[in-house]
Structure 1
Amino acid sequence: MIIDGQHLQVHYEEIEPADVHSEEGWRKVDIRFLIGSATTGNHDVTMWRARFAPGATHARHTHDVAEVFFLMRGRGAAGTGDREYAVTAGSALYVPPGTVHWFRNPDPVEEAEIIGCYLPGGSLEEAGYHYVGEVTDVLRQV
């Protein structure tokens, strides 16, 4: 769908996986930024879909903006500060701006799938992504 020359609809399969790297905290994660400055030209929100392979981790990080996400499939371990919590399909999470957080898939077999948004900001860069560090064994509680 296009209104006034602006693309308002995209399909997941049309979007390439983002070029994210392990040295920035991404391990075995296929994340695609569906709605944002690169796809729809907006700078108000970034909507993403991520698939976490078994054992995948998105290490400790912060954003300058709020983040919300919904675990559609699988299970995971979401952490903030020095605590980690078990999350299951159907769980929705809110992460306030500046909060150190992480997500990992502890399942040895099943993939975890998440839909999320950064508000505001039209890209990972506009959301003010900052890698903080690895999820250490001390933090792994799930």
Structure 2
Amino acid sequence: MNWKNVDSNALAENLHPKHDKYFLKDLVVKADSGLLSVHRGRIEPGGEIFVHTHEVESETFYILSGRLECTMGDEKIAYAAGNCGFAPPGIPHGLRNTGDVPAELIAIFTPPLK
């Protein structure tokens, strides 16, 4: 069995090309597991993961720090550190940083996003 140890603090982050002030680090990708992908994200103040859907993947996201407004379907929900959200395929969802410090999160996709 293959296994992987990832120090997310040592990885370079990339600006997401489709969202605003959203930076990503890919921790586990399809080539690693085939079952899921895990990503660490940072949304700068005023930044946003625009509302979007995934046709195949379910997305679970866990907020590590910061304050966010989560759009889930037609609802808007305040999220803070310790909150966890789940968006099944086809459900519109997004996150907007409503605080004055960066917000950090972990996003898990099943099946893997990339």
Task: State the TM bucket, normalised to the shorter chain.
Answer: 0.7 to 0.9
| 1:21-72: CA deviation from partner (whole Å, max 9, x where unpaired) | 1xx2x1111111101135xx22211111111111110001111211111111
Give the corresponding residue for 2:89.
Answer: 97
Q: Deviations over 1:70-94 (max 9, x none)?
A: 1111110000223211111111111
* 1:18–1:33 CA contact under 8 A, matched in 2: no
More strand by share: 2
Confirm or deny: 8 A CA contact 1:66 1:95 kept in the other structure: yes
AA at the equivalent of 1:13: N
1:13 partner SS: helix
Q: Which runs of 5+ in 2 are unaligned?
A: none
Secondary structure of 2:9's aligned partner: helix
Per-residue deviation, 1:7? 4.9
Percentage of matched positions with identical amino acids: 27
- Structure 1 contact 74–113 (Cα < 8 Å) conserved: yes
Aligned partners of 2:15 and 2:23 also within 8 Å:
no
Tell whether 2:50 aligns with 1:54. no
- Where does 1:1-142 land on structure 2 (aligned, <5 Å)? 6-18=2-14, 20-21=16-17, 24=18, 26-37=19-30, 41-63=32-54, 64-107=56-99, 109-121=100-112, 123=114
CA contact under 8 A between 1:43 and 1:122: conserved in structure 2? no
Q: TM-score, normalised by structure 2?
A: 0.88
Q: Which runs of 4+ in 1 moved over 6 A?
A: none
Deviations along 1:107-126, whole A, 9 cap, x unmatched?
1x211111120011151xxx
Deviation at 1:14, TM superposition (A): 3.6
Instruction: Note if contact 1:56-1:105 (Cα within 8 Å) is conserved in structure 2.
Output: yes
The structure with more radius of gyration? 1
Give the number of aligned pairs: 113
- Runs of 5+ in structure 1 lacking a partner? 124-142
| CA distance in structure 2 between the aligned counterparts of 1:77 and 1:57, rounded to whole angstroms | 9
CA RMSD of aligned residues (A): 1.7
